[in-house]
Amino acid sequence: MHVFIVGGSDAGIAAALRIKELEPAIEVTVALADRFPNYSICGLPFYISGETSDWHQLAHRTEFGDIRILHDEPVTAVDVDRRVATTRRPDGAETLVPYDKLILATGAVPRLPDFLTVNAPNVFALHSMEDAFRVHAAVSSQDGLRAVIVGGGYIGLEMADALTRRGLAVTLLAKTTTLMPTVDPEFGVVVERELAQHGVAVRTQATVIGLEKISGLSRVVEESGERHDGDLIVAATGVRPQATLAAAAGVELGIDGAIRVTRRMATNRASVFAAGDCVETWHRLLERGLYMPLGTTAHKQGRIAGENAIGGNREFGGSLGTQVVKVFDLAIGRTGLRESEAVQYGFNPLTTDTEAPDHKPYYPGARPLRIRITADRRTGELLGAQILGDWQAEISKRLDVLATGLFHRMTVDALLDLDLSYTPPFSTPWDPIHLAAQDWLRTSRRQLRRGSTPTT
Amino acid sequence: MHVFIVGGSDAGIAAALRIKELEPAIEVTVALADRFPNYSICGLPFYISGETSDWHQLAHRTEFGDIRILHDEPVTAVDVDRRVATTRRPDGAETLVPYDKLILATGAVPRLPDFLTVNAPNVFALHSMEDAFRVHAAVSSQDGLRAVIVGGGYIGLEMADALTRRGLAVTLLAKTTTLMPTVDPEFGVVVERELAQHGVAVRTQATVIGLEKISGLSRVVEESGERHDGDLIVAATGVRPQATLAAAAGVELGIDGAIRVTRRMATNRASVFAAGDCVETWHRLLERGLYMPLGTTAHKQGRIAGENAIGGNREFGGSLGTQVVKVFDLAIGRTGLRESEAVQYGFNPLTTDTEAPDHKPYYPGARPLRIRITADRRTGELLGAQILGDWQAEISKRLDVLATGLFHRMTVDALLDLDLSYTPPFSTPWDPIHLAAQDWLRTSRRQLRRGSTPTT
């Protein structure tokens, strides 16, 4: 059997590795559009910042056993009926590759505003290794540079951090009211403060409408008329699924143009599976597909696509959109639904915001953290959680306790029963998670007693 | 209604607070044998070490609202039929206190070998604030002191750390083959190495049989004949439930002499509840009572005893024995059953040991951690987990993800579906938890294929 995988980033390589783990005799080919198999795209900001000195370190792995890797060999067409893929070799020649099973792991591409084009010499995206090399070279070219970042999501935030570390004067423009729209505005303003404290000029509700070229630099124009000069313009305006190959092959697309897949990662076409940033992702809580490209999800989906392509029958457990970002000295994470999403999907949410020290204050180094708990007023069911605090306050894995609770659809009340670890340097006898749950329950009871349902 | 609570440490105060939270009008009295309500006993080693400079900081709280606190007023008897307790006031007078509901939160007392008595001038336990003051005074009395710690459990380890920080020459004697018998020997030896690297002389399999007095110091005598001189002898040989009052009142005792309670924290006597280090604790996985005194459990049980004493009907969710300790630069934690316990309780466990970096090595500061997964070979059900690593590698809350999985009786295979947070500074796309689960599954499959069931 020959499994042909289009794309060699997280999902594609995870699929290939899983197949080889289960059935070493199966022939596996991975076709890459570039020459960087399984690089950590999430690591690009740290390469730019200099925290990661050598880009080679970004490779998740460099050994692929007997998986056949085709470098710089994009797949230009697939004939699903005849099970043949067409690739374009580095020398330009087209090759036909017959296969038994196909896995599409074509990833995503930057979603840029019309007037921003990464072909312009000083406009940059940050999605591929080549992007990273371009930014790195530009940043290293001279001192005193100014950067304008368009986009207030986590990539924009990480780039603001990275470019500030490299000594650039950074302006960040976000179209949203607060930064990091994946968390509630109450946390977004803290992130904004963190950026400001490190010298980043932040503008929110900034709708960028154009780009002017002025002798070697670019000027970003806001709808308001405000203009921002930059030697570098970094577009961190999100991504969209790379699904043109799939569409041309007759594979059905769904939300946001992502490939429609079952929880088995099967497409509508026989013998064609898909995984990663190019597919719809099953949301565990909402029990429906959404477009939520995340590296963690890509690895999981790729592994399942690989297993099922060779006859397995595993279902993807679903995503909760669990995510964490480090911005300067702050860690911010979220899992499940934020308040406005919970409303949007028909829940009746109550969200509380609890501050607690990360560990007993009598032990040195205690720092306050904040936990937001979103749960349904009627059922008490946990819908989502957000945590924010010092980056060394175990924010990420504390969030994961809540993500694990959410995975099991726990109520807020049941969180109190969790037997979590405690020693004064690491926690409090009731962990901040417990304290946040108690806070939610108290607030909920108080509001019930008053017969009102205001939002906090 | 009047609720009378015997004991003002974690369980007693948690009960009192819960009652006042639910029904502020109910009268609540807490009788203390000393004058330190709700102090953090877990913090004593850090007060000794100097990391916590002022003992007053150890108070979990100092405000108790209208909860009536009786200081230095031990309860000498309870007439459960007539609902009257007898206390001995600081002036020696006995008082009769009528009550409607009684909560016993009498805690534990050190379990000392016969020849060790804390009345001896240079022998110390570390269980109460008074103990801590004695040790603190002794340690501060002069330079160049030698300490001998008897006991290799977590208090012994924390004291070895604390006394070393204070400049003492420390010898630690443990009767077990490896230190910290709550984790597998493979981790115990790492703890031993950590102590040795910081200058602690460690002797395992050391059965202490006596104590000799020699002009101002004590000499601890091992069965082997080996002798260890110490200016301070610290007994960290565990605790036993303080249940004499309960027994005298006709309250049934169970395992290890602990008060037998239902999951509602009710005893066999009407209107008498009990919680904390004096009771049997329901083990969530084993579904039976065990004696497992832990502060986190005491808080939870106290809260439930308070709620149920005034008419509530909440059940204790059960303990998994989740525990973490910091020893010098190392954090070690465990939840659920270790390998030998799993065997003891009739499971057919397989334990694997996985090393992984705590976060992507291309981001500075990555450190290896080790995860041991114990699960049943037949069912794949997770039975326990242990983690060890640098104290800043989010060991404690990573352990709690596994504790939360164990709470829900997950299989190892299902752990792979958990949507955990990732960014290069905090984790890897597959968190070390996922990697440990994959390792367990691979090992299990390999052994199944070979038809053998060796232990690792």
Each residue's pLDDT tens digit, A332-359? 999 999 999 999 999 999 999 999 999 9
pLDDT tier at B293, thresholds 50, 70, 90: very high
Q: Looking at the DSSP assignment, which residues form a beta bridge with residue B253?
A: B259
Q: What is the pLDDT of residues B189-224, one digit of tens each?
A: 999 999 999 999 999 999 999 999 888 789 999 999
The answer to whether residues A13 and A40 touch, using CB atoms and an 8 Å cutoff, is no
pLDDT tier at A121, thresholds 50, 70, 90: confident
Q: In what order do the strands lie in the sheet with B208-214?
A: B208-214, B217-222, B227-230
Q: Which residue type, as a one-letter code, is found at position B100? A: D
B419 contacts A284? CB cut-off 8 A: yes
Q: Looking at the DSSP assignment, which residues form a beta bridge with residue A96?
A: A86
The answer to whether residues A297 and A319 touch, using CB atoms and an 8 Å cutoff, is yes
Q: Which residue of the set A26, A42, A59, A109 is catalytic?
A: A42
Rounded to an integer, the average pLDDT of A376-394 is 97
* Option in B43, B421, B430 nearest A322 (CB): B421
* Option in A10, A52, A404 nearest B362 (CB): A52
The answer to whether residues B423 and A396 touch, using CB atoms and an 8 Å cutoff, is yes
Question: What's chain A's average pLDDT?
Answer: 95
Cα–Cα distance, B330 to B336 (Å, whole number): 20
Other residues' Cβ atoms within 10 Å of the Cβ of residue B440: 27
**pLDDT at residue A274 is higher than 90:** yes
Asked if the interface predicted TM-score (ipTM) of this complex is over 0.90, the answer is: yes
Cα–Cα distance, A289 to A297 (Å, whole number): 13
Backbone φ, ψ for residue A319 (5° rounding): -100, 150
Tokens of B65: 């609202």
Interface test with B, best of A362, A394, A444 (most B CBs within 10 A): A362
**pLDDT at residue B394 is higher than 90:** yes
Q: What stretch of H or E contains B222?
A: strand B217-222
- Angle (CA) B349-B353-B359 rounded to 5° is 135
Q: How far is A57 from chain B (nearest CA, A)?
A: 6
Strands (E), A284-322: 288-290
B296 contacts A429? CB cut-off 8 A: yes
Q: What is the pLDDT of residues B418-438, one digit of tens each?
A: 999 999 999 999 999 999 999
Question: What's chain B's average pLDDT?
Answer: 95
Tokens of A445: 């009871």
Q: How far is A87 from chain B (nearest CA, A)?
A: 29
Q: Looking at the DSSP assignment, which residues form a beta bridge with residue B25?
A: none
Rounded to an integer, the average pLDDT of B349-378 is 97
B161 conformational bin, left if phi > 0, alpha if psi -120 to 50, beta if neither: alpha
Cα–Cα distance, A438 to B268 (Å, whole number): 30
Other residues' Cβ atoms within 10 Å of the Cβ of residue A79: 13
Nearest residue in chain B measured CA to CA from A418: B404
Q: Which residue type, as a one-letter code, is found at position B234? A: V
For residue B426, list chain A residues with Cβ-Cβ distance below 8 A. 324, 326, 331, 391, 395-397
Three-state DSSP string of A5-73: EECCCHHHHHHHHHHHHHCCCCEEEEECCCCCCCECHHHHHHHHHCCCCCHHHHECCCCCCCCEEECCC
- Angle (CA) B3-B8-B11 rounded to 5° is 80
Q: Looking at the DSSP assignment, which residues form a beta bridge with residue A375?
A: A350, A382
pLDDT tier at A214, thresholds 50, 70, 90: confident
* Option in A299, A322, A422 nearest B295 (CB): A422
Q: What is the pLDDT of residues B8-20, one digit of tens each?
A: 999 999 999 999 9
B298 conformational bin, left if phi > 0, alpha if psi -120 to 50, beta if neither: alpha
**pLDDT at residue B454 is higher than 60:** no
Cα–Cα distance, A39 to A56 (Å, whole number): 9
Q: What is the pLDDT of residues A50-109, one digit of tens each?
A: 999 999 999 999 999 999 999 999 999 999 999 999 999 999 999 999 999 999 999 999
For residue B423, list chain A residues with Cβ-Cβ distance below 8 A. 42, 324-326, 396
The rounded percent of chain A whose pLDDT value lies above 90 is 93
B326 contacts A430? CB cut-off 8 A: no
Q: What stretch of H or E contains B283?
A: strand B281-283
Q: What are the DSSP calls for B310-360, one per residue?
A: TT--PPP--B---EEEEETTEEEEEEE--HHHHHHTT--EEEEEEEEESS-
pLDDT tier at A451, thresholds 50, 70, 90: confident
The rounded percent of chain A whose pLDDT value lies above 70 is 99
Q: B278 an active-site residue?
A: no
Cα–Cα distance, B3 to B384 (Å, whole number): 38
DSSP-derived letter for residue B427 is -
Name the nearest CA neighbour of B434 among B407, B389, B390, B402. B402
A361 contacts B422? CB cut-off 8 A: no
Q: What is the pLDDT of residues A294-331, one digit of tens each?
A: 999 999 999 999 999 999 999 999 999 999 999 999 99
Q: What are the DSSP calls for A385-444, one per residue?
A: EEEEEETTS-HHHHHHHHHHHHHTT-BHHHHTT------TTT--SS-HHHHHHHHHHHHH
HSE-CB at A75 with a 13 A cutoff on CA atoms is 31
> In the block, which residue shows the tokens 């069912």?
B379
Name the nearest CA neighbour of B212 among B143, B148, B153, B151. B148
The answer to whether residues B174 and B182 touch, using CB atoms and an 8 Å cutoff, is no
Rounded to an integer, the average pLDDT of A105-132 is 89
pLDDT tier at A117, thresholds 50, 70, 90: confident
B313-326: b (≥16 Cβ within 10 Å) or e: ebebbbbbbbbbbb
**pLDDT at residue A454 is higher than 90:** no
Q: How far is B68 from chain A (nearest CA, A)?
A: 23
Q: In what order do the strands lie in the sheet with B75-79?
A: B75-79, B84-88, B94-98
Name the nearest CA neighbour of A201 among A282, A261, A139, A146. A146
Tokens of B178: 């490896």
A22-52: b (≥16 Cβ within 10 Å) or e: ebeebebbbbbbeebbbbbbbbbbbbbbebb
Quick one: pLDDT at residue B456?
44
User: What's the predicted TM-score (pTM) here?
Assistant: 0.97
Tokens of B38: 């709700």
A52 contacts B396? CB cut-off 8 A: no
Rounded to an integer, the average pLDDT of A211-216 is 86
Interface test with B, best of A419, A441, A446 (most B CBs within 10 A): A419
For residue A335, list chain B residues with Cβ-Cβ distance below 8 A. 419, 421
Tokens of A48: 């730019």
Cα–Cα distance, B287 to B316 (Å, whole number): 12
pLDDT tier at B357, thresholds 50, 70, 90: very high
Q: What stretch of H or E contains B203?
A: strand B201-203
Quick one: pLDDT at residue A452?
58
What are B162-165's contacts with CB under 8 Å, separation 24+? B162/B45, B162/B46, B162/B48, B162/B49, B162/B51, B163/B48, B163/B49, B163/B139, B163/B232, B163/B234, B164/B198, B164/B199, B164/B200, B164/B328, B165/B49, B165/B50, B165/B51
Q: Which residue type, as a one-letter code, is found at position B136? A: H
Tokens of A29: 């080919």
A391 contacts B407? CB cut-off 8 A: no
Q: Which residue of the set B1, B26, B42, B418 is catalytic?
A: B42
pLDDT tier at B257, thresholds 50, 70, 90: very high
CA–CA distances in Å: residue A352 to residues A184, A386, B40: 11, 10, 28
Cα–Cα distance, A384 to A351 (Å, whole number): 9
Q: Which residue type, as a one-letter code, is found at position A422? A: Y
B397 contacts A398? CB cut-off 8 A: yes
